[in-house]
Amino acid sequence: MKLKLLRILPFSAPRRLLNPKPGPGAVMHCLLLSAAATLMTQAQEPYRPQTPGALLAAETLKRQVLDRSFERFVEISGKEGNPIPNAWTIVARDSRSPSGLSEYVVRGRRVEVRGETNTFYPKVPPTGFFALPKVAVDSEKAFRIADREAGLAKVGFDSLNFRLRAREFSDDALWTVQLLDSDDEIVGHVDLSASSGKVLRTIWYYRDSEAEIMRIVDSAWPGVPKLPPEAAIPPSSLPAPIPPNTPPPGILPPAPLTPPEALRPTSPPPVVDPADPSRPEPEPLPVPEPGTLPEPAPLPVPSPNPGLNPRPKPQPVPVPEPTAPVPR
């Protein structure tokens, strides 16, 4: 039996078949696919720079400015946080500024705007100055506390405004978080301590777009239950509407109006039958005796010109007497 010998290909042939060399068209195709994938990823997940909190923004300002006067701050504020604002506006003590204060805008890790501010002196003096070691609650924790209080009050919000400032007559710091809805309408305020996180005051605004009624619940009012307990919250997000013509608490309703005495209805006099024998005879009217009536007072005689001063009589003009001619 004869075996048929097969032709063996060279050793380099399988390598060329398994790993073919890409041509210029294939390289361009791969580059286009990579660019398209990158664009699709960016469209689905837009790039957002890392936003630091309020304390990190203040530390960035101190590190870049390198001035010992920035140990004291007036306020740190940020608007339209969702939940953290993209930029922080910082007002600090600056010995080089004519007003003693300077304003800076920190976005990310950069200080973008710097300059003197006239927001406070002389019209609105600052409430005080605080140092960063006094602040233990950053903006992230302030957001979580405000979100918890809004949940207890059953108030929804879309964005937040933050403000960190010193408390009056103290070097402690205070957070004021303002909550806004999708129409940029204020729906609540939360004041909390920046050192302990204790909630000091809450204000909530309940609106009814159909009835155009707004109800305000301020925890500082006397008699307002503190939150929690949750039982003090109305079951729905909107409290029950106020009945019409209901006076506010503490104000008595006005007394009903009554007509004057002359306009009040009076009962008609009783009808008396003249032929009734039981009718009592009317008492006779007293007749005065002659000569007892007083004499009537004389009527005043009006003056010829009432209300006007009498015109003076004209005086005769003196006529000079004729004199004899003087002889020459």
pLDDT in tens, 41-58: 544 444 344 578 999 999
Which residue's entry shows tokens 């309940």?
Answer: 206
- Tell me the pLDDT tens digit for each residue of 190-222: 999 999 999 999 999 998 766 567 889 999 888
- DSSP, collapsed to helix, strand or coil, labels residue 68 as helix
User: What is the pTM (predicted TM-score) of this model?
Assistant: 0.54
Is the residue at 28 inside a domain?
no
Q: Are 149 and 199 in contact (CB under 8 A)?
A: yes
Q: Is the Cα dihedral 298, 302, 303, 309 positive or negative?
A: positive
pLDDT for res 259: 63
Looking at the chain, list the stretches that DSSP marks H as alpha helix, in order from N- to C-terminal side: 12-18, 24-44, 54-65, 139-153
Pairing, β 159-166 against β 101-107 = unpaired
| Contact status, residue 179 vs residue 150, Cβ threshold 8 Å | yes
- Residue 250 located in a structural domain: no
Count structural domains, the chain. Answer: 1
Q: Please write the tens of the pLDDT for every residue from 273-326.
A: 777 777 777 777 777 777 666 777 777 766 665 555 556 667 777 777 766 666
Identify whether 176 is part of a domain. Answer: yes
Mean pLDDT, the chain, whole residue set: 75
> Residue 39: what are its φ and ψ, rounded to 5°?
-65, -40
pLDDT in the model for residue 68 = 65
In a domain? residue 36? no
For 97, other C-beta atoms within 10 Å of its C-beta total: 15
Residue 309 resides in a domain: no
Assigned domain for 167 exists? yes
**CB of 117 closer than 8 Å to CB of 91:** yes
In a domain, 186, yes or no: yes
Give the three-state DSSP class for 54.
helix
Strand 173-180 versus strand 159-166 pairing type: antiparallel
The rounded distance, in Å, linking the Cα atoms of 189 and 146 is 8
CB 70 within 8 A of CB 92: yes
Range of the domain at 66: 54-232
